[in-house]
Structure formats: C-alpha cells, structure tokens
Amino acid sequence: MLSLDTRFVTQAVADHEWQQLETQIIALHEALEQGRVPGADFRGWIHLPSQTLAEGLDPLLETAASLRDEIDALIVIGIGGSYLGARAALEFCRSPYWHLRSREQRGGPAVYFAGNDLSGPALADLMRVLEGQRVALNVVSKSGTTTEPAVAFRVLRHWLAQKMDAETVRRRIIVTTDRQRGALRKLADEEGYLSFVIPDDVGGRFSVLTPVGLLPLAVAGIDIRALLEGAASQEQALARPELRENPAYRYAAIRQALYRKGKTVEILVTYEPSLRMFAEWWKQLFGESEGKDGKGIYPASAAFTTDLHSLGQFIQEGYRHLFETVVHVDDPGEDVTLPSDPGVDDGLEYLAGRSIAWINDQARLATHVAHADGGVPNLLVRVADRSERSLGELFYFFERAVAMSGLLAGVNPFDQPGVEAYKRNMFALLGKPGYEEDRRKMMERLGHQAR
C-alpha cells in the first residue's frame, strides 16, 4: 500500500500553518466533491477507477485480445496526456527495453509511440524498424485536432495503405477520441474505424485510466483490472480530507508550505530506469495543473543515481529553491548480485554477494540525508513493487494531490489555457486557413527567419 514518508522534510511546517492549511483543505475538499471549484466540469477522474470497474472492461479487453493475436506492433499516436500515461505504465510494469524483446518473450505485440513530436527522422526510423511487421495504429487525441498526432497519423496511415488492402487498414486503425467533437471523431465515423471514447469530464493529463491508457496497456498484456483496482483503493483511502488520514493532501499541504518559503522547484526523483517515464507523466500533471496565473512550483525530474553525477552538485549546493519528491518501489523486481572475485583488486570485494537493489537503496538513503543536510527537503512516496496495482495507487495519489495543491494555490487545476499560445503562432506560420492576419504579424516579427 502506498505511503508518504516526510522524515526528511527539514523545513518544518509550523503548527499554526498546518492548522490553517487543514482548515482550507477541508473546505476545498468539500467544494471539489460538490463541484464548487474552478474547472468543476473536469472532475470525472475522481470516481473513474471505481466507476470503470463497475461498468466492466469487456469491449476494451476483447479488442485488445484480438489485436494481440493479429499484430506484432501497436503504434500509439498521441501527445501529452494522450500518450504519457500509457508509456509510463508500460515502462513501469515492464521495462524501457521491453519492445526489444522477442514476441515470444513478450507474449504479444510490442507497443511503440509516435506523434509526440514533429521529427521526420524519428518517424522515418520507426517505419524502418517496423518494416515487414504486422502493425496496427491507435490514434489518441481528445480534441482530435492536435497537429503532432494528426501529422503522424496521416503519414502512418498512408504507410499502412501501401502494404495492405483497404479493409485490413480499416481494421488496423483504432481511434480514441471525444464522443462527438473534433476531426478525428468525424474521420472515425466516416471511415468506420473502431473507436473508444474519452469521457467529456476527464482532462487529457487525468486520462490514463480511460481507454487512452487502458487500450494500449491491455494490448501490451498489462493487467488493466489490477491497475484500476490499485487506483480504486486510493480513491477509497483518500476520501477523507483530514490531514492525518489523507497522505495525498499532506503532500499537497507540504508542497504549498514549501512554496511559500521559496521552494519553487520540485524534483521528482526516481532510482529505477523503469520509472523515468512515470516522472514525465507526473511533470505534465503538475506543470499543466499548477503553472498558471504567474504562479506554480516548477516540476522537474531527475533519475538517480545517474543524475547525481550531473545534477548532484547543483542539488547539493546550488541556489536553494529546490525540494525533492522521491518515488520509491520497495521491491524493484528481478535483481542481480555482485559476484565474488577475490583475485581482482577493484576495491569491490566488500560488496560481494550484495544485490544491486541493496546498493541502490544505500545510495538513496545516503542521498536523502545529504540533500536534507544541504537544505533540500525530501519527501518520499513509496509503493510495494512495480505491479499494476502499485502503479494504479501512484496515478491516483498524484491526481488527488495535484487537484488539492492547485486549489490551495488558488488556480484552476483542470484547465491549460497556456498550451494554446504557441499553437496560434504555429498555425499562422504553417499557413492554416483562418490565420492569415496572424501570419502577416508573425512574418513581420520574425523577419527573414520565417520561410
């Protein structure tokens, strides 16, 4: 079961501050539950785990089962909330190298991701890697209009069409989008693609437990029921607002207390490569939810011990605006033991017989103390293992926490108006119909750089 350890939070939260935060949290919790908060239309994530389990997963599991028989590779086309959760889950429960294993070792198709950038070389390379394999596409976009996935989808659809008949292409494309709106919904209906719906009341970064994440994960053979059960256990565990009973709200309260004391950057720290993409999911969740109205804790991430050899100096002694949240799995999985080699003087014999997990954990404990001593408060969120259930707990815990943290900061945690600013400029430069005046202004500002 997930737990929060605050013993390395050296910058104490005064009793009166804690009481004030708790009073605010109790009121905000009630407002959140009753829909009296900004962005109230996007609270579908709150009861999503229990509701999805109650509704059942049959159509999704049936689609996944037939794809598992029929294909070697699924390409998930999406960006931001429409891909990060699935990718984080896949790497968390399997490994970053999982797609490199053979089909037999994996027991089913591999899952790849595209449409999360505008890179020609990356897309060309993906097509080269998958040449000759049986491929299906799952294009995911809530709005159905996002440029990156739309561009990749068009390229990959044409690529598939060169290899197979139209009926097979149609069967190999699955759309996950809005129930009614957007170009993707229209295309799915016109072309007869199988489609899954992203609920209206669930925003992109909160959508991992909808078909956005569940379908590709089921195709990969991930136990999505266990994932939802883990999340549902947190949905229940975090139902009370009192700080002593609610670790997600304690985490939110400590973050806001640290922020008020000048800790404006939070580093999500992981010690296993399989958790790196989880940190990317977390960054979007916290960055888009809190970074607005000139406020917000900047969400960064670091992969230790790797980054202790690049960022470690700054974290230990640089500008003191940092705090860390370590996500730790007690049992990281298959382990490797250091063999004994008394004949070789490499200074490591004292560790012979020790597991790498144990050595890694000593590094973690040493770093907690060093960073706390250096003025970097550390929070520790721990789960039992890398199972689907533990991951479900983590997903829900952080969703609950960010909602409360954003409300405490006085922002709307469920919108993302700032994401549109670059898009308007980009559409102008791309010459999208309707952006003619913006284009003229952009060309003027960029001068010779615009082509």
Number of residues that bind ligand PA5 (CB under 6 A): 15
Please identify, using beta-carbon distances, which residue of 37 and 243 lies nearer to ligand PA5. Answer: 37
Contact call for residue 80 and ligand PA5 (CB under 6 A): yes
Residue 134 token pair = 């049986």
Q: Using alpha carbons, select from 360, 366, 352 the residue that is nearest to residue 306.
A: 360
Query: What character string, x for contact with ligand PA5 (CB under 6 A) and - otherwise, covers 222-261?
Result: ----------------------------------------
Q: Which is nearer to ligand PA5, 72 or 280 (CB)?
A: 280
Task: Please list the residues that pair with 137 across neighbouring strands.
Answer: 75, 173
Cβ(387)–Cβ(94) under 8 Å?
no
Whose Cβ is closer to ligand PA5: residue 52's or residue 177's?
177
Least distance to ligand PA5, CB of residue 147, Å: 9
CB of 80 to ligand PA5, least distance (A): 3
Q: Tell the burial category of 369 from Cβ atoms under 10 Å away from its Cβ (0-12, 13-18, 19+).
A: exposed
The answer to the question of residue 209 lying near ligand PA5 (CB under 6 A) is: no
Residue 142 binds to ligand PA5 (criterion: CB under 6 A): yes
Distance CA 290, CA 416 (A): 9
Which residues, numbered 144-163, are part of the site for ligand PA5 (CB under 6 A)? 146, 149
Q: Which of 205, 255, 276, 368 binds ligand PA5 (CB under 6 A)?
A: 205
Residue nearer to ligand PA5 on the CB measure, 323 or 395 = 395
With 0-12 / 13-18 / 19 or more C-beta atoms within 10 angstroms meaning exposed / middle / buried, residue 194 is middle
Q: List CB contacts of 73: < 8 A, sequence separation 6 or more.
A: 99, 109, 110, 111, 112, 130, 133, 134, 135, 136
| Smallest gap from residue 395 Cβ to ligand PA5 (A) | 14
Examine residue 82 and tell whether it contacts ligand PA5 (CB under 6 A): yes
Q: Which residue is nearest to ligand PA5 (CB)?
A: 204
Which residue spans within 118-170 are E strands per DSSP? 135-141
Quick one: which segment of 80-88, 161-169, 354-362, 422-430 binds ligand PA5 (CB under 6 A)?
80-88
141 binds ligand PA5 (CB under 6 A): yes
Find residue 378's DSSP bridge partners: 324
Give the residue numbers marked as catalytic: 288, 309, 423
In terms of CB distance, is 233 or 416 closer to ligand PA5? 416
Cα distance from N-terminal residue to C-terminal residue, the chain: 55
From the CB of 288, what's the least distance to ligand PA5, in Å? 5
E strands along 53-98, which residues? 73-77
> Using CA atoms, how far apart are residues 264 and 255, in angstroms rounded to an integer?
9
Q: Decide: is 204 part of the binding site for ligand PA5 (CB under 6 A).
A: yes
Neighbouring CB atoms inside 10 A of 43's CB total: 20
DSSP letter assigned to residue 328 = E
Rounded to a whole number of angstroms, the minimum distance from the CB of residue 414 to ligand PA5 is 9
Q: Of the ranges 199-207, 237-245, 390-398, 430-438, which one interacts with ligand PA5 (CB under 6 A)?
A: 199-207
Region for residue 447 given its phi and psi (left: phi exceeds 0; alpha: psi -120 to 50; beta: otherwise): left
Q: Shortest Cβ distance from residue 321 to ligand PA5 (Å)?
A: 25
The answer to the question of residue 143 lying near ligand PA5 (CB under 6 A) is yes
Sequence-separated contacts (24+) of 105-110 with Cβ below 8 Å: 106/221, 107/221, 108/68, 108/219, 108/220, 108/221, 109/67, 109/68, 109/71, 109/72, 109/73, 109/74, 109/136, 109/219, 109/220, 110/72, 110/73, 110/74, 110/220
Residue type present at position 275: L
Q: Site map for ligand PA5, 294-323, x if CB under 6 A?
A: ------------------------------
Q: Which is nearer to ligand PA5, 39 or 149 (CB)?
A: 149
Alpha carbon distance 389, 93 (integer Å): 10
Interface with ligand PA5 in residues 267-296 (CB under 6 A): 288
Closer CB to ligand PA5, 141 or 210, in the complex: 141
**Piece of 186-194, 203-211, 227-235, 334-342 that binds ligand PA5 (CB under 6 A):** 203-211
Could you say whether residue 79 binds ligand PA5 (CB under 6 A)? yes
Residues forming contacts to ligand PA5 in the complex (CB under 6 A) are: 79-82, 141-143, 146, 149, 203-205, 288, 416, 419
